[in-house]
Amino acid sequence: MARIDDQTLTDLMGAAHAMADAAREAVLPYFRQANLGADNKAEATGKGDFDPVTEGDRAAERAMRAVLARLRPEDAIIGEEYGETRGTSGLSWVLDPIDGTRGFLSGTPTWGVLIAVSDQAGPLLGVIDQPYIGERFWGAKGAAWCKGPRGEGAIRTRKARPLGEAIVFTTFPEVGTADEGAAFHAVAEKCRLVRYGMDCYAYALVAAGQIDLVIEAGLSNYDVQAPIALIEAAGGVVTDWQGGPAHEGGRILAAANAEIHSEALALLKRCP
């Protein structure tokens, strides 16, 4: 947690907020527009049947990259839409301009802008911003905050409680492969409440102390690095399904605390 000094963290957080502000301004004109089209990236990648990208995605990432060019030109960038830009500082900005493009296309306010800063060991700070409702979550070095319609304040994850009392989220009911889906449902059937489809907003709810678990599979680094930094700063735990580092993506278990993480992990570890 002490891999960067306080002044560097202050500078990085200032840049992250400037990027989130710029992304808000760039993306909102596209949201809930009847004629908004989408290209299907799956046609080129072969990953899934429909992997949409809109001009809103591209505009938001361009806006964030413009801020970095001005404030942090020495840092590397890994972005979902425009790929990797090399840097010299040892720090990388990991950007998902719209996490939840399917939700964006559908008009639901559960998508978000993801911003993380990482070094070789993983993410150092993270921001989840929901432009339409004006809600922003951010965290680093053991402290996390939220600013939204009800004001600004510190946030913490939920205290430990049994898995049988937990609320668990995932984005897609099928989760991933058949084996991964079975592993998720082995956890879900022991929880009190199961919900679907929130994309990055579910991770923000873990950080804010509203829910206990998010379990997903098949994610990329730009999907997870901001949520990891935010949840860990708020007191939670994020690993892969074997309990190892998750910042490169794949299978993700995000938990409000170590106790409920351990309960869920014991079931997920059985997945081949």
CA-atom Rg of the chain in angstroms: 18
Q: Which fold has domain 163-268?
A: D-Maltodextrin-Binding Protein; domain 2 (3.40.190)
Task: Return the CATH class of domain 6-154.
Answer: alpha beta
**Reported confidence tier of residue 1, pLDDT bands at 50, 70, 90:** very low
Which of the two residues, 48 and 245, has the higher pLDDT score?
245
The DSSP line for the chain is --SS-HHHHHHHHHHHHHHHHHHHHHHGGGTT-TT---EETHHHH--SS--EE-HHHHHHHHHHHHHHHHH-TTSEEEETTTEEE--SSS-EEEEEEEETHHHHHHT-TT-EEEEEEEETTEEEEEEEEETTTTEEEEEETTEEEEEETTEEEE--PPPP--GGG-EEEESSTT-SSHHHHHHHHHHHTTSSEEEE--THHHHHHHHTTS-SEEEEEEE-HHHHHHHHHHHHHTT-EEE-TTSS--TT-EEEEEESSHHHHHHHHHHHTT--
Provide the residue ranges of all domains of the chain, joining segments of one domain with +.
6-154, 163-268
CB within 8 Å of 10: residues ≥ 6 apart: none
pLDDT score of 47: 65
Report d(CA 20, CA 85) in Å as an integer: 19
- State pLDDT tens for residues 65-100: 999 999 999 999 999 999 999 999 999 999 999 999
What number is the average pLDDT over the span 142-166?
97
Phi and psi at residue 116, in whole multiples of 5°? -135, 155
Q: Is pTM beyond 0.75 here?
A: yes
Q: Is the pLDDT of residue 37 over 90?
A: no
Question: Mean of the per-residue pLDDT values for the chain?
Answer: 95
**Would you say the CATH fold of 163-268 matches that of 6-154?**
no
pLDDT digits (tens, 9 = 90+) for 44-70: 666 667 889 999 999 999 999 999 999
pLDDT score of 261? 98
Question: Longest Cα pair distance anywhere in the chain, in angstroms?
Answer: 49
